[in-house]
Structures are given as structure tokens and as C-alpha cells.
Amino acid sequence: MLGSLNKIYNVGIYIRLSREDDDKALESESITNQKSLLLQYVKENNLRVYDIYIDDGYSGTNFDRPDFNRLLNDIELGRVNMVITKDMSRLGRDYIGTGNLIEKYFPEHNVRYIAVTDNIDTCLDNSNNDIAPFKAIMNDMYAKDISKKIKSSLRAKQKEGKWVGGRTPFGYDQDPNDKNHLVINEEQALVVKRIFDMCLEGLSFFKIAKQLTNEGVKTPAGYYSFEWKSNYNLKYGEWHSKTIRDILTNRMYIGDMVQNRRSKVNYKVKKVIKNNPKDYIIVENTHEAIIDKETFYEVQKRIPKNVGRNEKKENHLLDGLLYCGDCGHRISIQSRRKKDNRCYTICNYYRTYMKQRLCTTHSNNYDELEKVIIKSLTNMCLSYINKDKVRNNVLNNLTEDNEFNNKKELEILINDIKQINDNLDIIYIDKLNKKITEEQFERVKIKLERELNIKQKRYNELNNSINDNINEESKNKLIIEYINKFLSMKKPSRELIINLIDRIEIFEDKNINIKVTFNDNSV
């Protein structure tokens, strides 16, 4: 019993509730709860309460709180020689201030301090008082405090699109003039570009990695390690599929800042976890891109979702293009069976929730399936080419005429617009020279501007449509090129297949729906 000690204690109960407390939502922190807990404690220990000091709505990060100051005043006047709080953080959240209070101020004023739920008692009568728990809590508060402060300032910077990571992504360096900005590392950027090109050529991660390794291209680990000089080839010379995948999927390369991908579990545990992509902090166009957006998103389409499980697995022509027609999830291709050298497709949704029977197997002999699909694709291509010929014959004269007319009109418009602008200049000067009145000027100006507006609009319209036509045409030319190449090949390459097929839906009843990248009913 505390009360049985010889000294007579006059207790100051201190209660604080902060508006911005993390635990403000907790009922246990409420004024009433703190008060009843502390009064109970005082009663159980036969202590005499001098007064209760309550700061409601004051932050613990500074000591400028009215009732806290009243408490200090009473301590200095000798009215209070014991302070009790629920826990140490009630006293303050600023560890330096709190530490000073407990380690210096209270002892100097012969005040005994108790934090009930933290089991802290700076009992002055007991010289063996173990301050270990107190230290532990102080350290903890300190770490929490600092980690919170660092975290929130990091977050703020990340939200501004400032680079705050440690190691820069492969292909970039920290700007020597601004450590929160990234600049291209030309040597590494060339490798990044090459990896994207290789992927577009249809090479698998594994093959890309192998080729780079064989050529002795320095790996990201090779650049970042200080040891690479001594045993570079041994430890850091080898490219891995995962590195290739990480590079190909990194949005940093299109100039967007992607941060907060990983975070520490908390300030106590060093362990780092991967964050959910929805928690990434992304700011667009913060640095120079290495890869243009079109290439990047094209590559994303080609990245099979189930790669990585087995790096050396067979590279199937249709990998990543197969979808379940019934449930919409991906269909993957299983490894080849040893006994009959066959491999089968399976709906991922079925495989994951086999017991719940959320979908059905969608099992097909892959090699057969591939044959069927290539055959249908061939037919689709042939019919597209035929239609294209017919369409071209019909439309050619028409579009040529049309195009000629459009270009002519555009020329006239450009001329007109220039004329109107010149006239505007003239009347303005006339006004300045008082050749025409303000009124006359306004009237003509409004008329000219209205005219200009109309012409400008028509110009934009025409220009856009001409550009659209050009784009459409070059796109179609490319498709025709792909199709001709595909039709001439005995075994099509994965690159061609990806350029021609968007997705393939496979139904349990063996129906197949091929969605091609070209519009096959566009006549």
C-alpha cells in the first residue's frame, strides 16, 4: 500500500484529453474514464487528493496547457508532492519535455510520479526504484514520435511528387542540384529501352535475362553494390526474370513518380511489407520519361499475370491472352505432363476455388486449342484482307476527292484567319491614331472577332479530321502488314499474335471467341 509509506502525500490528479489524439476515439481515454480510474486508484491506496487538474482538448506535444500550469504552480507552492496520471502520454507526448519533467523537475521538487497503466512509480523513498520500464516507455514514445514525424513529412513530399526513396530506380540518378528530383542515367536508360524493345519483340523475361547476362550487361545490383568490382560476375552478373519483370512494369519509366510501394509494419518492427497498389502515391510527369506511354502500355498488355511461379516454363504462343468465357478470369496453361507430353488449360478461378465450384475446369489440350485458334485467326485475316480490298476500291476515289477538297478548304481558312488578324491590327492602329472612334472600333472589332471565331472552329474541325484520317490510315496499313506477315508465316511469332489478338475467350462448351485488334466487320 502506497499510503503506508511514512511520507504524507498530497496528490494532484492530472487528466488530459487531446482533440488530435490518435486514440481520441477510444472511450477509455475519455475524461470520465481517466477520472474514475484515477480516483479508484487513489482510494485503493488511501491517498489524499489535493486537486484534480483537467486539460480538455489540449495537445500533448507542448506544455502550454492551463491546468497543467496550475498543477506546476501548486507543486512549486508545495501544495502537491505527488502526481498521478493514467499513463505517461497523458503527461505529454513530447518525449524531451516529458523526460525532463520526470527525470529532473519532479525529483528536484520532491514530487513522486505515478503513471498507473504504465506501472511507473518514481517513488522517491525507494532508492532502488527501477527506472527500466520508464526508460523503455520513453524510448518507445521517442521512436513513435520520431517515426510519425518522419512518416508524415515523407508522405507530404511524396504527394508533391518529390523523390524521397533511397536507391533510385535503374535508369535514373538523383539530380545533383535537387535531391528530390530524378534525372536520366543515360547508360542505364539504354538498357531499360532495350529491355522494353526485347519484350515487344516477343522475348520472354527469361530469354531477355539470359541474353543480357550472356552479353555481360551490368545488372542493377551490379551498379548499386560496392562489391561488384571484386566478384561482380560471381554475385551480381546475372540478370533474373524478376528484375526484367520489375523493370517492364515500373511506371517510373514513363515519367510518373510512384512511391509508397512498401512500408514498415510499424516503428518497432523492421519488417517491410508490400503495399496494396491502391495505396501507392503516384504523381504524373515529375521527371523525364525513358519509355513513351504507348510503348509502356503495349508492354503491360503482354505481361502474363502468372509468370514468376516457374521462370523456366515453356513460352506458349497464347500465354496471357486466354480468358474464361464463363467467369471472365484468366485461363492459364499448365506445365506439360511427363507421361504424354500434353499440357492443358485451366480456369484460374476454378483452380483457386475448386471446392466452392465457382467455375468449371475449362480444360483443353493446349496444342489442339492453339491449332484451332490459329486456323480461325487465319480465316479472319483472310476475310479482312478481302474486305479491305473491296473497301479500298470503293472508297479510294471518294476519299481522294474528299481529301483534296479538305486540304483546299484548310488553305483558304488559314489565309482568311491571317487576313482577319491583320484587319484587327489595322483597326486598332486606326483607333490609336484617332482615325476611327472608339465606337466604330468596338463595332468592327466584334464583327471581326465573331468571324475569326467561326473560321477558327472550322479550321480545328477540319484539321482534326484530317489527322484522324491519317492516323486511321497508318493504323490500318500496319494491321494489313501484320496480317500479311502472319499469313505468310508457317509458325507465327508471339509478337505477331499479340498484335493481332486482343483476347481469346474460352467457354466450357468448347466455344471460342477470338477478339482481334482489327475491326473485322468494318465494311
Q: How far is the CB of 503 from Zn ion (least distance, A)?
A: 14
Site string for Zn ion, 331-370 (x = CB under 5 A): ----------------x-x---------x-----------
Instruction: Tell me whether residue 229 or residue 357 sits nearer to Zn ion (CB atom).
Output: 357
For cell 519535455, name the residue.
97
Q: How far is the CB of 508 from Zn ion (least distance, A)?
A: 8
Instruction: Tell me whether residue 322 or residue 427 sits nearer to Zn ion (CB atom).
Output: 322
Q: How far is the CB of 328 from Zn ion (least distance, A)?
A: 7
Contact with Zn ion (CB under 5 A) among 327, 343, 506, 516: 327
- 383 touches 377 (CB < 8 A): no
Contact with Zn ion (CB under 5 A) among 198, 324, 483, 504: 324
Q: How far is the CB of 323 from Zn ion (least distance, A)?
A: 9
Q: How far is the CB of 306 from Zn ion (least distance, A)?
A: 14
Number of residues that bind Zn ion (CB under 5 A): 6
Instruction: Tell me whether residue 90 or residue 329 sits nearer to Zn ion (CB atom).
Output: 329
- 51 touches 80 (CB < 8 A): yes
| 318, 321, 324, 325, 365 from 360: Cα distances, Å | 20, 19, 10, 11, 15
Instruction: Tell me whether residue 307 or residue 506 sits nearer to Zn ion (CB atom).
Output: 506
Instruction: Tell me whether residue 327 or residue 377 sits nearer to Zn ion (CB atom).
Output: 327
Site string for Zn ion, 279-318 (x = CB under 5 A): ----------------------------------------
Site string for Zn ion, 164-183 (x = CB under 5 A): --------------------
271 is written with which cell numbers? Answer: 519488417
Q: How far apart are CA 166 and CA 52, in angstroms?
A: 49
Q: How far is the CB of 344 from Zn ion (least distance, A)?
A: 14
323 is an interface residue for Zn ion by CB under 5 A: no
Total Cβ atoms within 10 A of residue 137: 20
Please state at what angle helix 186-200 crosses helix 293-302, rounded to 10 degrees: 50
Nearest by Cα to 430 from 448, 403, 409: 448
509 is written with which cell numbers? Answer: 462448351
CA dihedral 452, 454, 455, 456 (to 10 degrees): 80
Q: How far is the CB of 267 from Zn ion (least distance, A)?
A: 44
Q: How far is the CB of 347 from Zn ion (least distance, A)?
A: 3
For cell 489527322, name the residue.
467
Find the part of the chain contacting Zn ion (CB under 5 A) among 208-216, 249-257, 319-327, 447-455. Answer: 319-327
Q: How far is the CB of 324 from Zn ion (least distance, A)?
A: 3
Q: How far apart are CA 263 and CA 265, in angstroms?
A: 6
Helices (H), ranges, 5-131: 31-44, 66-76, 88-91, 95-100, 106-108
Strands (E), 187-283: 257-259, 262-264, 272-274, 281-283
Instruction: Tell me whether residue 247 or residue 506 sits nearer to Zn ion (CB atom).
Output: 506
Handedness of CA 384, 386, 391, 393 (dihedral sign): positive
User: What is the β-pairing status of strands 172-175 and 112-115?
Assistant: unpaired
Q: How far apart are CA 335 and CA 352, in angstroms?
A: 17
- 359 touches 350 (CB < 8 A): yes
Instruction: Tell me whether residue 80 or residue 327 sits nearer to Zn ion (CB atom).
Output: 327
Q: How far is the CB of 309 from Zn ion (least distance, A)?
A: 19
Q: How far apart are CA 327 and CA 320, in angstroms?
A: 16
**Structural element, H or E, at residue 230:** helix 228-235
Instruction: Tell me whether residue 11 or residue 347 sits nearer to Zn ion (CB atom).
Output: 347
129 is written with which cell numbers? Answer: 526504484
Residue 387, classed as helix, strand or coil, is: helix
Instruction: Tell me whether residue 356 or residue 521 sits nearer to Zn ion (CB atom).
Output: 356
Q: How far is the CB of 504 from Zn ion (least distance, A)?
A: 13
Instruction: Tell me whether residue 363 or residue 378 sits nearer to Zn ion (CB atom).
Output: 363
For cell 536507391, name the residue.
167
Instruction: Tell me whether residue 252 or residue 504 sits nearer to Zn ion (CB atom).
Output: 504
* Contacting residues toward Zn ion, per CB under 5 A: 324, 326-327, 347, 349, 359
